[in-house]
Amino acid sequence: MASTLAPTPLEHPLRSGLPPERSAPPCALVIFGASGDLTRRKLMPAIYSLARAQRLAPSFAIVGVSNSPWDTERFRAEIADGIATFTGTAVDPDLWRDFSARMQYLEGTFEDPALYQRLGQALAGLTATSGNVLFYLATSPSLFPVVVEQLGRAHLHRAKPGEGEAGHEPWTRIIVEKPFGRDLDSARKLNQQLHQVFDEEQIYRIDHYLGKETVRNILIFRFANGIFEPIWNRRYVDHVQITVAESIGIEQRGRYYEEAGALRDMIANHLMQVLSIVAMEAPVRFAATPVRDEKVKLIRSIKPLAASNDPAAWARYAVRGQYGPGFISGKPVVGYREEPNVARDSTRETYAALRLEIENWRWAGVPFYLRSGKRLPKRVSEVAIRFKSPPYLMFDNLGAEAIDANVLVMRIQPDEGISLRFEAKVPGTDMRLRPVNMDFHYGSSFGEPQPEAYETLLLDAMLGDGMLFARYDMAESVWALTTPLLEFWEANPPKDFPNYAAGSWGPKAADEFLAREGREWRRP
């Protein structure tokens, strides 16, 4: 199967046209949770963009399923509004006529077997989709097992043989949204529930960070260039920082966030996925199994976080924080405890930082620092590889403190690109040095808009390419690593929350966390 990342020779490496078209086979997309926020904000705008880019088969169909008392007309109107709001452009009337005709809505209770009978009938009526069905679990996570079980009971979990296009057997797949469990036990249980009905090959656990162009490009950067891989190891790298900072608060998601917190919401999925791509060994091929094997191997080689009840031991591995009132872009904002649906004495963390050690030959002794927080001064996600300082400085009057170590920064968003910082001589008769940057910007180099992560991932799932989705063992390995910390934090509520002001770079303890080792966080 052609992989998403199979390198494509381009006429000019930087100013190319589109890669060869990848387009989806005919299929029906069935969205459970069709009246929810994710469908309106992300899924349907992504599907619409794929249709506009002619990446969908003309006989494509969408079935929205939810318990909201809507009909198909209402579903269409809500989605049209969502597309206009979240793509920033009103729907194209010609395209919309055809697109909306392919949409239908089924109202029902997820626990009710009759809903699945009606769904079966609706799918049977879609003769042009060749029997291919992609289910999408966009409901609240507590309903995932319910929907999966009912799909199995209604025999909708397997394609009916012989219904496919000539020469192709039809397929049935299921995309599972995050959060994938809330700790190791619940993730294992969810995997079991899924495996009782679906084969692992049918299951696509989505993490939208893996669909971001800049994250996918880390693989290309590392493995399609000859000069970086030889220095991508403990001999040359001092440490690595992975930052996902957000200036937004928790918006209207207080109820969800009170259950989740920064470690579950961001670190245990998005940042761990990015880490695995940054640090894994070269896969034998760019295909789903070898890439996912390497990622899991990497997560399993991370040293377990302290298993003790000693807060001082844990403090060497992790810091947590919660924002209080403050200012974002000059405007006052409330603290976490004043947000809607948040307990006034909540101890939920909105900031988390981890120090991880990877125990293998490539990375032994190189700390990986991960941090993510809400209400930080700006929205920025990046990976910074800080190299070791030169072993010896031969310049008179210049001490080690005059030299900034080389830093390679992969900017995931915004201002997507890659830069390498190195020392240069300031022009003049004095010997003065200053760091300068070699910079690559996606925008100016390619001049192509980047697809939204959900577009890439939905198209991959329709094409049966699971490389950018998490396998069951990845989900479980991440929870195996993070669950002891979650448990320690739950058992030892913080006494100093809120401990950072909205609009600051997180708690003081996070700076001390690195300062203890003679390092500091980058200010992106």
Kindly list the catalytic residues.
270
Q: Are 453 and 462 in contact (CB under 8 A)?
A: no
Q: What is the phi/psi pair of residue 243, to 5°?
A: -120, 130
**How far is the C-alpha of 177 from the C-alpha of 204, rounded, in Å?**
9
| Token pair of 278 as six digits | 């940054």
| 214 Cβ contact partners less than 8 Å away, ≥ 6 residues apart | 410, 411, 412, 413, 416, 442
Instruction: Tell whether residue 177 is a contact of ligand BG6 (CB under 6 A).
Output: no
| 211 Cβ contact partners less than 8 Å away, ≥ 6 residues apart | 452, 453, 454, 455, 456, 457, 460, 468
**How far is the C-alpha of 58 from the C-alpha of 357, rounded, in Å?**
49
Site string for ligand BG6, 372-391 (x = CB under 6 A): ---------x----------
Instruction: Tell whether residue 455 is a contact of ligand BG6 (CB under 6 A).
Output: no
Q: Residue 519 CB: number of other CB atoms within 10 A?
A: 15
Instruction: Tell whether residue 265 is a contact of ligand BG6 (CB under 6 A).
Output: yes
- In this complex, which beta carbon is closest to ligand BG6, that of residue 25 or of residue 335? 335
- In this complex, which beta carbon is closest to ligand BG6, that of residue 61 or of residue 260? 260
Min CB(265)–ligand BG6 separation in Å: 5
Phi-psi bin for 503: left (phi > 0), alpha (psi -120 to 50), beta? left
Q: Report which of 460, 522, 498, 492 is spatially closest to residue 25, judged by C-alpha positions.
A: 460
Q: Residue 429 CB: number of other CB atoms within 10 A?
A: 5
Phi-psi bin for 415: left (phi > 0), alpha (psi -120 to 50), beta? left
**How far is the C-alpha of 218 from the C-alpha of 412, rounded, in Å?**
9
- In this complex, which beta carbon is closest to ligand BG6, that of residue 385 or of residue 412? 412
- In this complex, which beta carbon is closest to ligand BG6, that of residue 129 or of residue 273? 273
Min CB(479)–ligand BG6 separation in Å: 16
**How far is the C-alpha of 136 from the C-alpha of 458, rounded, in Å?**
10
Q: What is the phi/psi pair of residue 358, to 5°?
A: -100, 120
Min CB(442)–ligand BG6 separation in Å: 16
Q: Report which of 12, 16, 79, 87 is spatially closest to residue 53, judged by C-alpha positions.
A: 87
- In this complex, which beta carbon is closest to ligand BG6, that of residue 350 or of residue 419? 350
- In this complex, which beta carbon is closest to ligand BG6, that of residue 265 or of residue 460? 265
231-251 burial, b at 16+ Cβ within 10 Å, e below that, comes to ebeeeebbbbbbbbbbbebbe
- In this complex, which beta carbon is closest to ligand BG6, that of residue 107 or of residue 265? 265
- 222-251 positions binding ligand BG6, by CB under 6 A: 246
Residue nearest to ligand BG6 (CB): 265
Min CB(111)–ligand BG6 separation in Å: 26
Residues shown for the chain: 524
- Helix spans in 102-155 (H): 113-124, 144-153
- In this complex, which beta carbon is closest to ligand BG6, that of residue 80 or of residue 263? 263
- In this complex, which beta carbon is closest to ligand BG6, that of residue 246 or of residue 465? 246
Min CB(381)–ligand BG6 separation in Å: 6
Min CB(270)–ligand BG6 separation in Å: 6
Give yes or no for a cis peptide into 179 (omega within 30° of 0). yes
**How many residues form the binding site for ligand BG6 (CB under 6 A)?**
3
Min CB(246)–ligand BG6 separation in Å: 5
DSSP lists the bridge partners of residue 368 as 240, 356
Report how far apart the first and last C-alpha atoms of the chain are (Å, whole number): 39
Min CB(87)–ligand BG6 separation in Å: 15
- 62-91 positions binding ligand BG6, by CB under 6 A: none
Which amino acid is present at 359? E
Min CB(228)–ligand BG6 separation in Å: 25
Residues engaged in binding ligand BG6 (CB under 6 A): 246, 265, 381
